[in-house]
Chains A and B, each alone.
Chain A
Amino acid sequence: MYACLYRPAAEDAANRLLELALHFSPAVERTSSDTVVFSIVSLRKLMGSPHQIASEICRLGYEQKLEANLAIASNPDTAILLARNCAGVILVTPGEENFKLASLPLACLFAVQTNVSLDLLETLQRWGLKTCGDLAALPEQGIAERLGATGIYLRNLACGKINRALRIPPPKTSYEERMELEHPIALLEPLLFLFSRILNELCGRLRAQSQGACALEARLELEEQKKYRCELEFPVPLTESAAMLKLLQLHLERHAPEAPILAFTLRLKTTEPRRVQHGFFLPPAPPADKLELTLARIEGMVGKQNVGAPVLLNTHRPDAFQIAPFHVPDMEMVQKSLHTETPADQQVLRLAIRLFRPALYANVKVAGTAPQGVSAPGVQGNVIRSAGPWKTSGEWWASTSWIREEWDVALDDGALYRIYQESPSREWYVYGIYD
């Protein structure tokens, strides 16, 4: 049995109705801002018959000075229809739904089910139907032939035959856990043991709610009232605690807290999980979560600024590039771009240059303007042939300005170098090797 409370045209109706309903059942459906439905099955042993339950609801409503319609029926939709269309208290015994609903106007069915088109109401009215009883009297097969599944649904609604579960919103899940420690922890390993337990629990909640984590925030409370906070952002939503724990471990190894830990809080930021259907004919790519761990490990060794994808800058400045964070590209997009872009001529081997970073300071013997001999750390020899000077300059308006004369020089050590003389300092540098 279900009870429905309806209180039209009141600003605070929703909250007050919900408050009243929650006195009787924790399972309450908020059908709309002015209607709530709840189950009263479990109240029979406590309060007695539906009449006694109805009188108890009325008594509490009177005490709270809440004026509302109350309907009790065997299914939620019948209770809603009656509460919304009949003033006062209505009690329907099972089997009488059809009779009680018969006098209600046909339009009230469309108020309950909002996704049914109003054109259907017009059609039914053109057929001469005015009340729910008229619709319920029509043969089911005829309705199905003419109006399909929607028509059958409306007829069953008019008969009071629709049994459904209450639509109860799931309770809001918290993805934050705090733990206070009995003794301060100074070592990482026992702390990770505790992190692992908490992360397992949080990831269990994530999976139960079909969610993924896009970031992990760790707040540590240290001795001497110190605080430590770190936030790890994941490039792809993660659901496995092992990957998160490893990333957190690598971060804490690189940036260790400065005092023993008294308490900690872990919080996951949730997002939709990654649902990827890989193509049969797409090339393989590193799994994003595994790659993230690998990159974190490499960054721990060589530094974050030394790992990434090179991006050329839009300037003529020599060796102008920046390192961008590396993410696995979308393989479908890559395949599409491969078809649209014109590839470089692959039949010809292009001569590449490898650089000395920073450029090697060199002592250069000059005859006239051309270099005759080069001496720098690891580079020594007489110039056999040279080409140059190639004068370049730019960005005179910025601190990155350069003016230099470049030479390609073949030395008698067998290698071919690019060297340059900077202006105005007139100092020579070895820029790189043609290789």
Chain B
Amino acid sequence: MANTAALLRAQELWKPASRLPLVRDEPVFLPLEVPALKRLWKKGLTRGGIAEVYGNRSSGRTSVYLHILAQVTARGEVCAVVDLHNSFHPGSAATVGVRLEQLLWVRCQGNAEHAMHAADLLLHAGGFGAVVLDLCEASARVLNRIPLSYWYRFRRAIENTPAILVVCSGIQQVKSSANSSLWLKRKALHWSGQAPFYLLRSLEFTAALRTPRAVSPPLSIRAVT
């Protein structure tokens, strides 16, 4: 048997069925404009993947995802926000630069099952540049009941498409299905004026990016009013 294999090798009687090299498509990125976010996502958000943004209240989650939406709509693409607790503020979004006419807003009135199902339908419909799943105000009990299989399904639905799924929540949800997870923590509030006449100027927060391969050192980012 070994002799036959050696003979075949020596005489080159066999050849691979195809000589086409295996080529993986180069990933496409969505570049971000804020310098601190640029340092975290060097090339930008990976298209066809899940980006997770999580942290406590007032940690800058909403500001970050609105910035992502602004970047996507500025390229002329259509986006969707699946809003679990009806907390999306269109006025803030317009101020950040989100083009509202290119935005589909789905309000789920606190029903997490509807939110997951709506996100699933939108991702499978295709054609969206970014879909934001906003689970920010959901309780830990509700979040822990979301099956992990949903995230695998979402990852499979958007790979090889230009869409980005941004999951925004209080605790880390997507885990290994996410291409990158951005952890945010409030650092400081900056006020102007003197007591008792203060004026809110900015919110400073710490951000660290966790990818399957590495964890970036925390960076300080400011969101100004």
Contacts and interface: CB of A to CB of B under 8 A. Distances in A.
A332 to B, nearest CB: 9
Interface in B171-185: none
B64 to A, nearest CB: 7
Interface in B81-132: 86-97, 100-109, 111, 114, 117-118, 121-122, 124-129
A306 B104 CA distance: 10
Interface stretch (A115-123, A127-135, A269-277, A294-302): A294-302
Given A350-B224, A370-B196, A414 B58 contact: yes
B101 A408 contact: no
* Interface hub of A331, A347, A349, A357 (most chain B Cβ within 10 A): A349
Contact of A290 (B61, B62, B125, B198): B125
Nearest to B71: A346
A254 B98 CA distance: 33
B64 A349 contact: yes
Nearest to A356: B87
A338 B73 CA distance: 9
Contacts of A287: 125-127
A352 interface: yes
Contacts of B117: 301
Given A346-B74, A387-B199, A286 B128 contact: yes
A408 B162 contact: no
A366 interface: no
B108 A302 contact: yes
A433 B203 CA distance: 12
Nearest to A323: B105
A284 B129 CA distance: 8
Contacts of A355: 86-89
A352 B66 contact: yes
A347 B63 contact: no
Interface in A378-435: 378, 385-387, 408, 410, 413-416, 432-435
B200 A416 contact: yes
Interface residues of A, number: 61
A435 B61 contact: yes
Per DSSP, are chain A's interface residues mostly helix, strand or loop, or mixed? mixed
* Interface hub of B57, B75, B91 (most chain A Cβ within 10 A): B57
Contacts of B128: 286
A9 interface: no
A334 B58 contact: no
A309 B62 contact: no
Contact of A283 (B76, B97, B105, B136): B76
B127 A306 contact: no
Contact of A349 (B63, B89, B105, B127): B63
Contacts of B198: 385-387
B100 A306 contact: no
A319 B223 contact: no
B162 A284 contact: yes
Contact of B100 (A312, A328, A356): A312
Contacts of B37: 349
B52 to A, nearest CB: 16
A334 B102 contact: yes
B33 interface: yes
B35 A347 contact: yes
Contacts of A323: 105
A285 interface: yes
A68 B70 CA distance: 75
Contact of B87 (A328, A350, A354): A354
B156 interface: no
A310 interface: yes
B87 A415 contact: no
A348 interface: yes
Contact of B125 (A294, A344, A349): A294
Contacts of B196: 370
A276 to B, nearest CB: 14
Contacts of A110: none
B132 to A, nearest CB: 12
B33 A346 contact: yes
B224 A415 contact: no
A349 B101 contact: no
Contacts of A410: 189
Interface in A166-186: none
Contact of B108 (A295, A306, A350): A306
A289 to B, nearest CB: 10
Nearest to A328: B78
A181 to B, nearest CB: 33
A407 B193 CA distance: 15
Nearest to B127: A286
Q: Which 9 residue pairs of A and B lie closest in terms of their CB atoms, listed nearest first?
A: A286-B127, A344-B97, A346-B33, A415-B57, A310-B90, A435-B62, A351-B223, A306-B107, A294-B125
11 contacts: A302-B118, A306-B107, A310-B88, A312-B91, A323-B105, A347-B33, A349-B224, A352-B95, A355-B86, A355-B87, A386-B198
